[in-house]
Amino acid sequence: MPIYFTSHGAAGTVTGSKHLIEVQSNGRMFRVLLDCGMFQGEAVRDARHDPNREFGFDPREIDVLVMSHAHIDHSGLVPRLVAEGFNGPIWSTPATRDLCAIMLADSAHIQEYDHAYDLKRARKRGRQPEYEEPLYTKDDVPPALELFQTAVYGEPVLIGPGITLTYTDTGHILGSAAVHLDIENDGRMLRFTFTGDVGRYVDRLLPEPAPFRQADVIVCESTYGDRDHAPVKESEEELLRHVMDVCVNGGGKLLIPAFSIGKTQEILYTLNSLSNEGRLPRVPVFVDSPLAISATEVSRTHSTLFREDVRAELAQDPDLFTFPGVEFVRSPDRSKQLNGVKQPAIIIAASGMMEAGRIRHHLRNELDDRANAVLVVGFCAPGTLGAQLIEGAAEVNIFGDIIPVRARILRMDFYSAHADRGELVRYLECQETSKVHRTFLVHGVERGFAGLRERLTAQGFANITVPKRGQRFEL
């Protein structure tokens, strides 16, 4: 009986992660969806119709959803999937479930807010809005959360007829996992692996990506398939250098757009280390993101997932994310106050690609000042505001205002939560390449695919494919 694989997102792009496994069994098709992520950036802007409103399959026909991790480009459409009739179990690790609870509520708020804005704008111009309803609302979130079931790393669970799921830690963000499905079908065993997003071998907080059992088919992410990151120790010094340069010597604000989950905690952990060593200058640090604050709390409750040496530090410093001078800003009023303050400060706010969240308000207020700097610490998908700044845009459009870019745009790669090319190759070194029949490269752009394909081919992997959205393969 055939088994099929189809990518419905993160196929030739970095967002919208959604992959479908179909297993013919007892006269019917059993469907496992891997991730249910939202398309972001140019994937949405350049499309004629919002790709987030067309799954490419019928949600009512999906039997099980298996999550790799909580990032919105992997989880953001879960409430819509459920609203459109999906009613099966949603498997995830416990930390992913806890993070999804705060992420999806936040995302629903953004959907409602953005939609209200679109409606207002359409009305002002005397036009019909493109869509009558937001993608989903906060009422769609609780029914989705009720469907979650959890599995811890390394413990197999039966999720369908002859289909066993085992998670392994990828060290990408708290709770992140590679998905391993052992599919027994008609006396044949197919060992399928979806890497999800792979973390780093140098991560400060989380353990290294764990090796995994031999696979027949691998679906591998390729975000940084074309590059290698800077070494770690230099990066810690680099962060300190930027703080000294911008805030202490230049008297400016250092804006750090950061993913609420993962990146923000990594930065706080590093600033906390510098503070413990007495090396952090007295500059106020604001974490201006309610979601990041909640995510930091979730990180504290799941501290058993930290690296061993980090867990040992907890004995000396029970809170690795808090230090003198840091303020966690929840209220919108306090956030607005920060705009008026003309004094050196470090402001960490979401979103990482600068497409949403409070960082946009700070950018609108601070980009035109030469004393300030924006420190880009993560991947920005093409077309996002973050990508425009990296590419050296002289001016940008924020909330309909044209803002001249006079602030410096700085970049640091260490805080990438994604493995680089060398690390992806190292991650797959646990595999005997001759036994892997087929490898699919997803979650990347053309450069990344080409770079990684070259290295994996040299490593002995054959039959490497970059699937197109909706292209169905028999495994």
Please report, as ranges, the residues that interact with Zn ion according to CB under 5 A. 71, 197
- In the beta sheet, which residues pair with residue 7? 19
Provide, rounded to whole angstroms, the least separation between the CB of residue 71 and Zn ion.
Answer: 4
Structural contact between residues 151 and 90, judged by C-beta atoms closer than 8 angstroms: no
Provide, rounded to whole angstroms, the least separation between the CB of residue 175 and Zn ion.
Answer: 11
In the complex with Zn ion, which residue's Cβ is closer, 73 or 140? Answer: 73
Six token digits for residue 117: 């804005």
Provide, rounded to whole angstroms, the least separation between the CB of residue 196 and Zn ion.
Answer: 7
Provide, rounded to whole angstroms, the least separation between the CB of residue 69 and Zn ion.
Answer: 6
In the complex with Zn ion, which residue's Cβ is closer, 197 or 203? Answer: 197
In the complex with Zn ion, which residue's Cβ is closer, 63 or 197? Answer: 197
Provide, rounded to whole angstroms, the least separation between the CB of residue 6 and Zn ion.
Answer: 21
- In the beta sheet, which residues pair with residue 474? 4
Would you list the DSSP string of 319-357? -TT--TTEEE--SHHHHHHHHH--S-EEEEES-TTSSSS
Provide, rounded to whole angstroms, the least separation between the CB of residue 261 and Zn ion.
Answer: 9
In the complex with Zn ion, which residue's Cβ is closer, 419 or 466? Answer: 419
In the complex with Zn ion, which residue's Cβ is closer, 67 or 326? Answer: 67
Taking alpha carbons only, the member of 313, 362, 363 closest to residue 335 is 362
Task: Please state the φ and ψ torsions of residue 234, each to the nearest 5 degrees.
Answer: -55, -35
Task: Find the helix or strand (DSSP H, E) in which 110 lies.
Answer: helix 94-124
Neighbours of 414 (CB within 10 A): 21
List Cβ neighbours of 272 (8 Å cut-off, separation of 6 or more).
317, 320, 321, 322, 323
Task: Please state the φ and ψ torsions of residue 156, each to the nearest 5 degrees.
Answer: -70, 140
Handedness of CA 266, 271, 274, 279 (dihedral sign): positive
Q: How far apart are CA 335 and CA 343, in angstroms?
A: 15
Q: How far apart are CA 401 and CA 423, in angstroms?
A: 41
List Cβ neighbours of 244 (8 Å cut-off, separation of 6 or more).
281
In the complex with Zn ion, which residue's Cβ is closer, 35 or 140? Answer: 35
In the complex with Zn ion, which residue's Cβ is closer, 173 or 428? Answer: 173
Provide, rounded to whole angstroms, the least separation between the CB of residue 197 and Zn ion.
Answer: 4
In the complex with Zn ion, which residue's Cβ is closer, 71 or 469? Answer: 71
Provide, rounded to whole angstroms, the least separation between the CB of residue 74 and Zn ion.
Answer: 6
